[in-house]
A and B are shown apart, each in its own frame.
Chain A
Amino acid sequence: MTITLNVNGQNHQVDAEPDTPLLYVLRDDLELNAAKYGCGLGQCGACTIMIDGKAALSCVTPLLVAEGREITTVEGLGTIENPGPIQQAFIEKQSAQCGYCIAGMMMSAAALLKHNPKPSDDDIRSALRTNLCRCGTHMRIMAAIKRASELMEQAAVPAATNRSAG
């Protein structure tokens, strides 16, 4: 079947079977390689993306359910030249060791920060409990998410000031 996928704000025409995992389409057809293939069973979190602003596991998401939804991958959080606040925070805090889990961690963090801009440690642990890291950089990941929260707040303040001034 041919379906239209909206990924990071852009529409793509994709020709694939309806039960193809979304992860395969993102990586193989759209060449968006941020989301990783880890376990293929929805248990490790390396393939986490956002669907309509909520964290979802792309390795167990059938392509057909993605039609008409807004899909976000790490490529949608910023670029190498102009990283977004979550990417900036993960760089600042040097949260990646091998890095394989980090794209998934960032997407779970992005979904968390969307509805909870000032998460507590418990909130972060709870939101990221399905993202596994084998290197043990959890404390740096926690620090990065707190830092991202600060960066997003700082970014939001001038805008708010402008609005009240205008």
Chain B
Amino acid sequence: MRFLRAISILLTLAVIAAVGFLLIGWRSEIPPDNQAANAQYPPDLVAKGAQLAAVGNCIACHTEPGQEAFAGGLPVPTPFGTLYSTNITPDPETGIGRWSEAAFVRAMREGVDREGNHLYPAFPYDHFTWVTGEDNKALYAFLMTREPVKATAPANDLVFPLQFRPLLVGWNLLFLREGGMQPDTSQSEEWNRGRYLAEGLGHCGACHTPRNAFGAEDRNHHFGGGEAEGWQAYAINASSHSPVPWTVDSIAFYLRNGWHELHGVSRGPMAEVTGNLGLLPDSDIRAIATYVASVMGEPSPERKEKGERLTRSFGNGGANITTAALDENKASADLSGHPGAAIYGAACATCHESGRPQPYGGLNFALSTAVNAPNPQNIVNVVMFGLPPGDGQPSAVMPAFGNTLNDRQVADLLGYLRARFSDQPAWTGLTDLVAKTRSGEYPVTVLASDGIERAPKNVGAKE
């Protein structure tokens, strides 16, 4: 009897919890606005929205390469299964053509679609909740004036029971902090602007902050490094592994141009980001740089000293590079017998020790964050797949070595780079990692090195 009573109490509690859950999480439908897509929007508002959409990098997830811009359908692999991005063109049937501005704002702030369904947090509404009403208005005007495209994304393929969207109420209770940004009055206006862009629409942390078991950003390791599309998003806080510490100037230059002479070129998903930021005014780029540099903080005296030494050797567009500068970066141990040495000599050194300026010359590996990072995935990706050239414009380019080198040879090469150009401990499990990258067991998105043409067209997207 006692057992049965215990069961019935538990069941009752479970039912109450479930009903409560549904009540808290229940969101009503916002009535369709059949005029939304036909309304007139002021051109300057649309232009502002285009800039903001570039900050948000909306096109990267909401477009499948080679298909129509913003029409969705891109598979987004997550630890919980595969999600497919939605169509955010103003098509009334398959897109957001019947969404009122209020419905759009609710999606951005609460992660709920027009019909009242909870959206999955792969859509970073935990960041977008910061976006001001004024900016949402411009984004809405921009999206509603895109070409409508009829396209329905494939159904999501998630592990049980995550198909049940009301569960996201729990996620939101734990991890969503609604409400706009409160300015930090102890900081400059520029810093606050940068924080608004980087933490809000820019959602830097969606890739650059590690995620917990629930797929939410780990607030204790803000900007501590995460991953995206098979690439490592490096730590951009005090634990940055960049050999030369970043500064406001170097971050601003990198975000503006997609490369920096002391840090190399952006690639992988970051190439999309820097490609998109081309639409932003310098003042906004500088604001983001100011904020990110302040999160990184002042480097330790040792890091600073090392950075200054490397800058003396490799700065000034490569003009300072001398044999002495190169020798300085040789590890004290004799590596001439290392199995990766001959591969490096024939395959890499001709570009990477040429002293030709960035972004067309190879970065000296003494400056490489990839070689100094705790996880070797990015340099595995670049060796295997290279940097494919961008279409119709000058871009960084590197040949792919996946066909040339077998798994062990790539591992030998990376072991050599790590030993010679960093003071970090050797990587382990390299051969296995290379094999998984080659086979696709670990999927990697490979984009042309310019990543994205300037918004609103994405790489290969039809205009």
Instruction: Using known A-B contacts A42-B399, A54-B403, A56-B403, determine if residue A61 contacts B346 with beta carbons closer than 8 Å.
Output: yes
Which residue on A lies nearest to B409, using beta carbons? A65
Interchain CB contact (< 8 A) of B347 among A54, A55, A60, A130: A60
Cβ-defined contact, A60 with B399, below 8 A:
yes
Cβ-defined contact, A21 with B351, below 8 A:
no
Which among B341, B350, B403, B406 has the highest number of chain A CB atoms within 10 Å?
B403
Query: A133 vs B31: C-alpha distance in the bound complex, in angstroms?
Result: 58
Cβ-defined contact, B403 with A51, below 8 A:
yes
Query: A61 vs B404: C-alpha distance in the bound complex, in angstroms?
Result: 7
A residues near B404, Cβ cutoff 8 Å: 51, 56-57, 60-61, 65
Cβ-defined contact, A55 with B342, below 8 A:
no
Interchain CB contact (< 8 A) of B342 among A19, A43, A51, A52: A19
Give residues of chain A (107-166) contacting chain B, Cβ–Cβ below 8 Å: 129-130
A residues near B401, Cβ cutoff 8 Å: 60
Cβ-defined contact, B346 with A63, below 8 A:
yes
Query: A129 vs B400: C-alpha distance in the bound complex, in angstroms?
Result: 12
Query: A70 vs B345: C-alpha distance in the bound complex, in angstroms?
Result: 23
A residues near B351, Cβ cutoff 8 Å: 41-42
Instruction: Using known A-B contacts A51-B404, A56-B404, determine if residue A62 contacts B389 with beta carbons closer than 8 Å.
Output: no
Cβ-defined contact, A130 with B403, below 8 A:
no
B residues near A54, Cβ cutoff 8 Å: 403
Query: A42 vs B388: C-alpha distance in the bound complex, in angstroms?
Result: 12
Smallest CB separation, B252 vs chain A (Å): 29
Give residues of chain A (1-35) contacting chain B, Cβ–Cβ below 8 Å: 17-21
B residues near A129, Cβ cutoff 8 Å: 388-389
Which residue on B lies nearest to A125, using beta carbons? B391
B residues near A64, Cβ cutoff 8 Å: 342-343
Instruction: Using known A-B contacts A57-B399, A130-B399, determine if residue A18 contacts B347 with beta carbons closer than 8 Å.
Output: no
Smallest CB separation, B319 vs chain A (Å): 20
Interchain CB contact (< 8 A) of A18 among B342, B388, B398, B405: B342
Cβ-defined contact, B347 with A62, below 8 A:
yes
Which residue on B lies nearest to A57, using beta carbons? B399
- Assess whether A76 is interfacial by the CB under 8 Å rule: no
A residues near B347, Cβ cutoff 8 Å: 42, 60-62
Query: A135 vs B398: C-alpha distance in the bound complex, in angstroms?
Result: 23
Instruction: Using known A-B contacts A19-B342, A62-B342, A64-B343, determine if residue A41 contacts B389 with beta carbons closer than 8 Å.
Output: no
Cβ-defined contact, A19 with B346, below 8 A:
yes
Query: A97 vs B354: C-alpha distance in the bound complex, in angstroms?
Result: 32
Smallest CB separation, B449 vs chain A (Å): 11
- Assess whether A40 is interfacial by the CB under 8 Å rule: yes
Binary contact readout B170-206 vs A (1 if CB under 8 angstroms, 0 otherwise): 0000000000000000000000000000000000000
B residues near A63, Cβ cutoff 8 Å: 346
Cβ-defined contact, A55 with B403, below 8 A:
yes
B residues near A55, Cβ cutoff 8 Å: 403
Cβ-defined contact, B350 with A65, below 8 A:
no
- Assess whether B167 is interfacial by the CB under 8 Å rule: no
Which among B399, B403, B404 has the highest number of chain A CB atoms within 10 Å?
B404
B residues near A18, Cβ cutoff 8 Å: 342
- Assess whether B397 is interfacial by the CB under 8 Å rule: yes
Which among B346, B401, B409 has the highest number of chain A CB atoms within 10 Å?
B346
Cβ-defined contact, B346 with A43, below 8 A:
no
Cβ-defined contact, A65 with B343, below 8 A:
yes
Query: A10 vs B397: C-alpha distance in the bound complex, in angstroms?
Result: 34
Query: A130 vs B401: C-alpha distance in the bound complex, in angstroms?
Result: 13
Interchain CB contact (< 8 A) of A130 among B342, B350, B389, B406: B389
A residues near B354, Cβ cutoff 8 Å: 41
Which among A17, A56, A61, A65 has the highest number of chain B CB atoms within 10 Å?
A65
A residues near B388, Cβ cutoff 8 Å: 129-130
A residues near B345, Cβ cutoff 8 Å: 19, 62
A residues near B405, Cβ cutoff 8 Å: 65
Interchain CB contact (< 8 A) of B346 among A51, A52, A62, A130: A62
Binding site for A on B (CB under 8 A): 341-343, 345-347, 350-351, 354, 388-389, 397-399, 401, 403-406, 409
> Can you report 8 A-B residue pairs in the complex whose CB atoms are below 8 A from each other?
A19-B346, A20-B346, A51-B404, A52-B403, A56-B404, A57-B399, A57-B404, A65-B406
- What 9 A-B pairs have minimum CB-CB distances, sorted nearest first? A62-B346, A42-B399, A19-B342, A54-B403, A19-B345, A18-B342, A19-B346, A56-B404, A56-B403
10 additional contacts, CB 8 Å, given A19-B341, A60-B346?
A41-B350, A42-B398, A51-B403, A52-B403, A60-B350, A60-B401, A62-B342, A62-B345, A65-B405, A129-B388
